[in-house]
Amino acid sequence: MRTSRAVIGVIIALTTLTACSSDDDGVEVELLAGGGDQPDGTGADASVPGPIYRLTSDGNGTLWGVTGSHVLVQVDSEGAVRSTQLQLDSGAVQEIAAAPDGTVYVLPDRAGQEGGDAVVLELADGELQPAVGVPAGEADQPGPVTPDGEPATEAELGYVGDIAVDSEGRLLLTEQVDPAGADAGFLLRRVEGDGTLSTVAGRANPDYDRELSDDESAAAFFPDGTDSTDLTLFSESAIAAGPGERIAVQTTRSVYVIDDASATTVLGAAGGGQLPAATEGPFAGSADALTLDYQAGFPQLTLAVNPDGAILASATSLSGIDQDAFAWRVEDGSDRAQAVADAAADDSQTANPTLYVTPGGDATVATVFGGPATWLDDDTIAVAATGDDGQIIVTLDVDD
C-alpha cells in the first residue's frame, strides 16, 4: 500500500516451496479466476491481465485489483473478470478502496496527487472523476491544511498515503500534516455522511526533525487505551475498516485497532518471539498475537478485516515452513492454473506471507506465497498469485 522505509531492501527469506499437484500434499484451494486465455472470461477461462499488486473487496463478493500502473481489474463472485484502463493525469495508481454500494475510490501516487485535479478519485461509468481533496502541496507548518468540519470535496489535503472504506461506506484516508521528511506525521481522517472532514486519529509529529529516531520508531507500541489523537502515524501506515467504527492500522512492527477514540494493539510485541513452526498447513500452529515479533510485508502490505473482526496482515520471512503443507492444489482450474500456483510457490522473491489473527487474538499462518490477500466474505480468503505462465486468484476457507 505504501513503500515502507523500515523494510526497504529486505529480501523475503522463505524456504523454497514446491507445489505438488500430482499427489495429496498441500492445501486444496478453489480457483476464482485465471489460467485461461479470455481477457473478459470467467473462472478457468479468464485471463487476469497482469500481476495483481492491490486487492480489495466491496464486502458483497466482488473483488477489485490493480495491475500494471493503471489497470483496474474487477472479479465478481462467479469469477467473471473485467478490466478498465484508468486514465490518470500523471503518476500511477497507489491504492484502491471499494464501498458496498459499488463505489470504487482510486488513490494516485504522490506524483499523481500533485499533478491531478483531486487527491482521491472515484470511478464512475468507467471514467475517473474527482472525489475528495485538492492538492495542497507541502505545508510550511505542522497541522492539517483543511480543518475538521469543512467539505471534503473542496479540502486542501497534504499527501494521502492510504485509503479505505468503512462499514457505513465512508471514505477513510491518511494525510501528511508535517512538511516532507522521513519522520513526517500523518492524520487518519474520515469523510462523514454529510461530506465533511473529521479527524479520527494521529497528529503532527511532536519530534519532527526530518530524521528518524528510536523513539519515533517505537510509535508502533504504546499502552492500550491510548487516545487516538496521541498516536503518531508515519508514511508506511496502512488502514482497513472493521466492524462498527473500528479501524485497523498496520505499522511496520504492529497492527492496532482504533475504536471509540482509543487504540489497542492486536498484533506484535517489542522483543516478541516467532510463530510456532508451520508444519501442518494453513491455520495450524497458532500463538498469542501479542507475543510475536511481527514485521509487515514489503512491498505488498495486506491488511483486511472481516465483519467479525478477524484480520489478515502480510508478514515478512517465516521460519519452519513445511514445503508440502502450504502447496496449493487448485480445484476447478486448468493445468495452466496449477502451473501458475507451482511457479509462485517456487519463487521466494515474490512470496507474500499472510497471517490470520482471530477475533480472540490468536495468530496463525494463512498463506506463505502468492500476492496480496483480502476477505471475499466472512470466512473466505482470496489470494492473487503470479507465475511464469500468468496470474490466478484463488480462495480458501478459514478453518472453524
Confidence of residue 5 (pLDDT cuts 50, 70, 90): very low
Contact 91, 112 (CB under 8 A): yes
Give CA separation, 86 vs 73, 94, 122, 162, 369, in Å.
Answer: 10, 12, 11, 18, 28
For residue 214, which phi and psi values (nearest 5 degrees)?
Answer: -60, -40
Sequence-ordered strand ranges (E) for 133-220: 134-135, 156-157, 160-165, 171-176, 186-191, 197-202
State the pLDDT at residue 22.
38
Q: Worst-scoring range by mean pLDDT, 52-61, 128-137, 266-275, 299-308?
A: 299-308
Residues 223 and 192: their CA atoms lie apart, in Å, by: 28
The residues with which 75 forms a beta bridge, in sequence order, are: 63, 81
State the pLDDT at residue 7.
32
More confident residue, 158 or 351: 158
Find out whether the peptide bond into 299 is cis, omega within 30 degrees of 0: yes
State the pLDDT at residue 154.
92
What's the rounded mean pLDDT across residues 148-161?
Answer: 95
State the pLDDT at residue 55.
96
Residue 56 CA to chain centroid, in angstroms?
7
Percent of the chain with pLDDT over 70: 91
Name the strand (E) or helix (H) holding 36.
none
Residue 239 neighbours by CB distance under 10 Å: 26
- Best CA proximity match to 12, nearest among 383, 366, 337, 300: 300
State the pLDDT at residue 139.
60
Q: For the chain, which domains are there?
A: 27-208+219-397 (2.120.10.30)
Grid cell at residue 289? 498475537
Per-residue pLDDT of 85-144, as tens digits, reads: 999 989 999 999 999 999 999 999 999 999 999 999 999 888 999 999 999 866 666 678
172 CB-near residues (< 8 Å, 6+ apart): 97, 163, 164, 165, 166, 188, 189, 190, 191, 200, 239, 241, 247
